[in-house]
Amino acid sequence: MKKYLAIDIGASSGRHIVGWKEDGELKTEEVYRFPNGVVEQDGHLTWDIDALEKHVRTGIDEAMKIYPEIGSLSVDTWGVDYVLMKGGEPVLPCYAYRDSRTETAIPKVHEQMSFSDLYRRTGIQFQPFNTIYQLYADKLAGRLDEADSFLMIPEYLMYRLSGAESHEYTNATTGGMVSAETGEYDPEIIRTLGLPGRFFRPLQRPGSVIGEYRGIKVMLCATHDTGSAVEGIPMEGNELYISSGTWSLLGVKTPKPLTDAGSEAANYSNEGGVGYNRYQKNIMGMWLANRLRSELCPEKPWDEITAEAEEKHFDHLVDVNDPVFLAPESMKAAFDSKLPHPPKCTAGYFRCAYRSLADGYRRAIEEIEQNTGNRYRRLYIVGGGARNKYLNRLTEEATGKQVTALPIEATALGNIMIQIKNGGEKA
């Protein structure tokens, strides 16, 4: 039976998972896992793409030791970040989205095309790290003059394997430059901002085979990890979802993008899906708790942290989408700056983080239902955050929705399902 390899890389770790169909069911096996994280370099936050490439290759080696005949592989990662290219080689550093370099670029972009115009054209929510602002920051720094193209990170990694440059649709939409109407890069945005036209090539859809690596087909999945995660949810009907990891991506499938004033005011995104639109919002997710833990109690197990948070009675909330939480030197200090008084113990910070996340989900769902005109009954939660039973209970209480928590590798599953479907099997 055919085997398929999903290489799923998040902001804190990556994994290689082999999948196959057996007796009508999808079976999987994790064969390799590796750490990831931002690296500080010359005062900026960057990604070590050489290390990522080495881990990608090592994981493939490990997979082939167990399963010598793998039919295809694909890579997915977070969105918005990219590698500048010159003559087929990377122009380093590769900046990470949490870096602050776009601060001066954002107002300059909006001087030439207002955010309302950008939203009307693309339907992408404002985030200071959107690819459009990162590329403009590179333009201001003169870095675009050194480059002849750019590749989003998963496309870069697959280029290093196959030698084929590609621009995959779902990941491209995260950057704020793809037309909501045509599904291709918007030439008016590119022209207005004076970005190099040679950078922006026709977009390819998930399922496209772009090359080979050691006899294995290299195929595009939904290379934006949330795009693959939504494909991996065993959803009954069309209901709400949260892909819960470093970020919480909360949304619903819609037939087409919603770029109306209400969606803009609510800062909702319209990102590419596999045959549908993902109407969703980025919410500061488990990043809050992860940073609190690394700062306050790095050795304490998560079950103890959540048990203590349940027992405390600190009931103040923060706005989890406040920019102060994006990349603070101290997450504790960031919470302190937004609270009338700080918690008296460590558990109070976690309680505040979890309750604030649940409240953020509530507000986001109210916006979805208002803007789509639909009511939803169920909320599916997948990813690492789905294992947090305390947060799941808070979310069910706050939203009034039936929470179905699936602590599965939904992103890898979706990645594999796209490969299976385009490899001639029924997913």
Please list the active-site residues: 225
Among candidate residues 407, 379, 408, 409, the one with its CA nearest the CA of residue 395: 379
Among candidate residues 204, 273, 264, the one with its CA nearest the CA of residue 243: 273
d(CA 358, CA 324): 19
Q: Which residue has the tokens 């590419």?
A: 272
Other C-beta atoms closer than 10 Å to the C-beta of 232 total 27
d(CA 226, CA 281): 11
Q: Are 82 and 156 in contact (CB under 8 A)?
A: yes
d(CA 297, CA 223): 34
DSSP 8-state secondary structure symbol assigned to residue 384? G
d(CA 67, CA 31): 10
Residue type, 200: F
Among candidate residues 71, 423, 413, the one with its CA nearest the CA of residue 217: 71
Q: Which residue has the tokens 């167990």?
A: 66
| Vertex 262: Cα angle to 260 and 264 (nearest 5) | 70
SS3 at position 329: coil
> Which runs of consecutive H residues, i.e. helices, occur in 346-401?
346-372, 389-399
